[in-house]
Chain A
């Protein structure tokens, strides 16, 4: 017995010659089909170069345009030639000029010898395959495709649409159940000859000529009619990208290919010298026996497809700039935004850093500069604290910061004094956790020693700005996790809200907070608000603070941090 190799060749004929010699040296007869579009000169040189080999034949030439009948016709003729010329061939293996045998040919022969009645052809019904390009699966078999998908895409699409609208349907020949699968199969002489000598073949051929991409379904469908034992997988390793074109293997895939358990790989870059040298040697040197690990190859190419279609969340760069809503993650990681906390608590920053172990910045969008943690002037990724640079593209600043520090949660303060340009961006970002104590901007004013007319003016302005921000946070488009307390509410019982926020950041450590941040002394704050009211301003965002002090008063020395159990 022997295994016959049918090779479809259209470019890189030098490589094809090398591979043909390799098959031949192992005792496999080879029938080569050369694409009709190859110039006569190149063709003749190629034929002449192989003329010293006995068991090499050439099939009748067809023009093989992708997705058309030519490839099937070429395969049919070459296979017929093979069966006729080499009567001891028991299996026929279909390969292309850019296929490369990965394992010693003898192993393939032994493998097939042990399975004399098995046909290796990937063959699945149309309902079960996810890989179809252009959304055409079953319709491949029921519509007509007179226009080239490659050259006349517009006409192709329009004609498909037209047929759908009109309700046109071709009749599938009796007894045929459409199957699809990889083009690269290995069939037994029995199955292949049954397909080629079928009395209905003219009918079937006429039907399949008008099917789209017949090379992926002709043999795959007909093998189901005659085969006694189909193993629905291809012996050829072939990976496809998201557009349905095959991934190409290069020199740096050598180790990966050594670990494949497939017999043949497709497609190999014609200039991958190392691969050709490594695999086209005699069987002794061919394989340094390594444990097959085909999963590794699968993962590599699955990741490539994923990167091309979904990309890395939160990344904006020269070749990934998603439209709004298509970011699959506005930012690269979770972060927390606090409004009013730094005003209400003296030592909020160090306290938060201790309690959560995250990176705690000050007001990143402060008008003077971006207050990075540890008062650094430059942060990860050489991000500058310069306010002008930051305000040139505030959203870019934020997404850069979160991308540059991925793996480490960032916390920062915002407030009505700051640049408000990112309000919508953070509100619509599911990665953001926004906690607001409304009205707390009044505390620094309360503590300041400025002219009261100025204070009143600024209070009015800040209140308006904060109110606008709260409106954003109340909008139905919000995706961030948002908590808002009025200042009065918060001061009433600060530990509970703090615990909730911290738990969310640290992912529910069951630990209770043992230490609270130190709240500023609010004695007289109620009176301060009353003064604002008396001046005609209406402070309302902080909730109701009675003029008389009812919040925990702290006379004398500031109290020690208290423990909560």
Chain B
């Protein structure tokens, strides 16, 4: 990397940080329990809107995994999410009515909170419909992973987004609060992902899965990115660039091996496709607060009317992380 490019990237990173500092004014504090954060705690950051039905299971899942504190930005929920979260003893909560889009889809808000609270902590950034899995997650808590990453001098951990969907119509099985969404959406695409390298930020750009196969088959370049780096040993100088797809400094995006070996990686099981999805797609369509003028949601809405089944004969039913390891979607690397 030349000096000029290195300089440009540094300027860009600083710009993101300044932006994050500026956007802190969007946030109104609801519950600040960050005093309870102890050195070495694992923190979870999330932005959400109207996810009340998902929250009980979401919080439970990550508590069981070993997350110590949740830092959540609520973007103008109207379904009681705010009150529910404010009551949780391990949640610090902010709320905002400002534009999600103008905060670069929430990235600025979280960058600010991370800068403020996550320095020197392992920080996990996920949406309420994303469930983080990693090698040995059924027998080893998240702390085992972060300890191992620390011991191996690894600062960032990749977890590709894996879209999960039910068999049959999306609205066939209603989701109840507290339920494991994987009971309903437990199918996924095992081997239709394509990868490109983004030479500017040094990350991989992964696309594919059911969204490419069904919604974006005519414009695959517009299909959503599935590469994510949600778990990072945070430093206040770091900044996410676009969602958690990539971050700066770009060394943190080097979560893949280029010389034939496999680094350890996990997956984010994305349980977006529940019965709540159709409604959500319609609402987001009106709000136009999502990436590329909500193209994703527009395409969904158009396709979903006539063909709401993402399942196909070669869909794979989710069993556990070992299955994903064997299928080559994630890897143990040299963690044994």
Q: Which residues of A contact B (CB under 8 A)?
A: 241-243, 245, 247-248, 250-252, 269-271, 300-301, 303-305, 307-312, 315-323, 326-328, 376, 378-384, 386, 388-389, 392-393, 396-397, 400, 403-404
Contacts and interface: CB of A to CB of B under 8 A. Distances in A.
A309 B261 contact: yes
Given A248-B151, A319-B330, A389-B220, A381 B191 contact: yes
Contact of A381 (B192, B331, B336): B192
A507 B329 CA distance: 31
Contact of A386 (B217, B256, B328, B332): B217
B258 A389 contact: no
A308 B261 contact: yes
B152 interface: yes
Given A300-B336, A382-B192, 10 more contacts: A242-B334, A271-B141, A271-B143, A308-B262, A317-B328, A317-B330, A320-B257, A326-B258, A382-B314, A392-B194
B158 A318 contact: yes
A270 B196 CA distance: 40
Nearest to A316: B195
A380 B195 CA distance: 18
Contacts of B315: 382
B217 A389 contact: yes
Contact of A404 (B152, B191, B333): B191
Given A248-B151, A304-B335, A307-B334, A320 B261 contact: yes
Nearest to A251: B139
Contact of A269 (B147, B217, B260): B147
A546 B148 CA distance: 73
B317 interface: no
Contacts of A243: 152
25 contacts: A245-B152, A247-B336, A248-B148, A250-B140, A271-B147, A304-B335, A309-B260, A315-B262, A318-B159, A318-B227, A318-B330, A319-B255, A319-B256, A319-B257, A319-B333, A321-B204, A326-B258, A378-B213, A381-B190, A382-B312, A384-B212, A386-B213, A392-B220, A397-B194, A400-B191
A379 B210 CA distance: 13
Contact of B260 (A271, A310, A380, A382): A310
A333 to B, nearest CB: 13
B125 interface: no
Contacts of B25: none
A379 to B, nearest CB: 6
Contact of A301 (B141, B219, B314, B336): B336
A270 B312 CA distance: 45
B333 A250 contact: no
B313 interface: yes
Nearest to A394: B194
A431 B334 CA distance: 27
A388 B220 contact: yes
Contacts of B139: 250-252
B258 A322 contact: yes
Contacts of B141: 271
B48 interface: no
A317 B137 CA distance: 20
Contact of B210 (A250, A311, A323, A382): A382
B248 to A, nearest CB: 19
Contacts of A303: 336
A270 B40 CA distance: 14
Q: 6 nearest interchain CB pairs?
A: A381-B191, A308-B334, A304-B336, A319-B265, A396-B194, A393-B194
B217 A388 contact: yes
Nearest to A252: B139
B307 to A, nearest CB: 13
Q: Which interface residue of B139, B148, B152, B260 has the most chain A CB atoms within 10 A?
A: B260
Contacts of A321: 195, 197, 204, 256-258
B11 interface: no
A250 B260 CA distance: 27
Contacts of B259: 322-323, 326
Nearest to B213: A384
Contacts of A308: 257, 261-263, 333-334
B73 interface: no
Interface string B174-189: 0000000000000001
B20 interface: no
B160 interface: yes
A247 B336 CA distance: 7
B258 A323 contact: yes
B221 interface: yes
Interface string B256-288: 111111111100000000000000000000000
Nearest to B326: A312
B144 interface: yes
Contacts of B260: 309-311, 320, 322, 326-328
A86 B312 CA distance: 73
B131 interface: no
A479 B143 CA distance: 46
A321 B158 CA distance: 13
B255 to A, nearest CB: 6
B76 to A, nearest CB: 33
B218 interface: yes
A322 B257 contact: yes
Contacts of A315: 262, 328
B193 A400 contact: yes
B136 interface: yes
Contacts of A241: 334
Contacts of B195: 316-318, 321, 393, 396
B110 interface: no
Contacts of B196: 393
B328 A403 contact: yes
A209 B297 CA distance: 66
Contacts of A248: 147-148, 151
Q: Which interface residue of B192, B221, B313 has the most chain A CB atoms within 10 A?
A: B192
Q: Which interface residue of A242, A304, A328 has the most chain B CB atoms within 10 A?
A: A304
B252 interface: no
B225 to A, nearest CB: 11
Contacts of A317: 160, 193, 195, 262, 265, 328-331
Contacts of B328: 312, 315, 317, 403
Nearest to B263: A319
A284 B5 CA distance: 65
Contacts of B160: 317-318
A41 to B, nearest CB: 14
A311 B265 CA distance: 13
B206 interface: yes
Contacts of A269: 144, 147
